[in-house]
């Protein structure tokens, strides 16, 4: 796999430039996972998150797992999807506990899972354990799984390697960041993950995306989804009017 990683990085230097046309304002909400993951978030904060998502027609909301039943009830049949996080934010939980958390979330209404990869396993060269953990959740949860690889902690080689493991695991997305580590999404990382995935999975950018300009930069670089707690601000900026 090291040779494959090296080959991808060499080709990326030549072929990696990518520019997707920006979406019109009417379609931008469908790129956004409206997110609230801060530990001090209250019940009223979660209800507000869901109501904003319904009003703006965001693709999904993403609260912490304990709020899944409340968010499910509030979203009702609005069409807004309900995501959540697993093994968040460190990814260092046991594989069994991650699986059980994912299954609990799905039983209570989550239809997307953003799980954190075990970064220590990856850096230790334990690639099989990394992939097996993801694959178990993909196969048993039976909902789209996005794998957070925490790009700020990885070398370019590790970013490519992680993406390849995510592809082989059967997950739906590779995701840049938790937003709780030393850095967030970067345009150059989105381009690299998109290139390394070879169109086999999608890319989610998250962490520090707070403005329309940042969101559009990520989308144009290849992001298929944007995770942000600033969704309303971004949409209002795109449409030029408050929602």
User: What b/e string do you get for 106-130 counting C-beta neighbours within 10 Å, with b at 16 or more?
Assistant: bebebbbbbbbbbbebbeeeebeeb
If you compute the radius of gyration of the chain from its CA atoms, what whole number of angstroms results? 17
The number of angstroms, rounded, from the C-alpha of 86 to the middle of its chain's C-alpha atoms is 11
Q: How many helices (H) and strands (E) does the chain have?
A: 10, 8
Find where tokens 């493991």 sit. 165
Please state, in angstroms and rounded to a whole number, the distance separating the CA atoms of residues 124 and 107.
Answer: 33
Beta bridge partners of 84: 113
The Cβ of residue 132 has, within 10 Å, a number of other Cβ atoms equal to 15
Find tokens 């993909």 and name the residue: 138
What residues are labeled active site?
114, 175, 204
Which two structure tokens, joined as six digits, stand for 43? 């019940």
- 166 vs 104: CA distance, rounded Å: 22
């Amino acid at each position: 796999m090291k040779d494959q990683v090296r080959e991808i990085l060499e080709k990326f230097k030549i072929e990696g430039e990518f520019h997707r046309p920006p979406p019109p304002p009417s379609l931008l909400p469908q790129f956004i996972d409206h997110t609230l993951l801060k530990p001090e978030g209250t019940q009223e904060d979660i209800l507000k998150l869901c109501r904003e998502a319904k009003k703006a027609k965001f693709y999904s909301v993403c609260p912490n797992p304990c709020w899944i039943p409340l968010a499910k009830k509030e979203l009702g049949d609005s069409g807004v999807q309900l995501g959540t996080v697993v093994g968040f934010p460190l990814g260092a939980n046991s594989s069994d506990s991650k699986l059980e958390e994912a299954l609990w979330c799905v039983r209570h209404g989550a239809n997307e899972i953003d799980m954190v990869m075990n970064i220590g396993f990856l850096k230790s060269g334990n690639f099989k354990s990394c992939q097996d953990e993801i694959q178990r959740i993909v196969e048993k949860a039976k909902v789209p799984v996005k794998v957070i690889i925490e790009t700020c902690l990885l070398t370019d080689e590790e970013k490519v390697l992680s993406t390849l493991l995510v592809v082989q695991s059967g997950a739906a997305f590779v995701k840049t960041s938790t937003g709780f580590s030393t850095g967030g999404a970067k345009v150059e990382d989105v381009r690299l993950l998109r290139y390394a995935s070879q169109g086999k999975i999608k890319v989610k950018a998250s962490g520090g995306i707070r403005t329309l300009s940042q969101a559009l930069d990520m989308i144009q670089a290849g992001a298929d989804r944007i995770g942000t707690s600033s969704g309303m601000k971004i949409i209002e900026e795109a449409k030029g009017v408050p929602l």
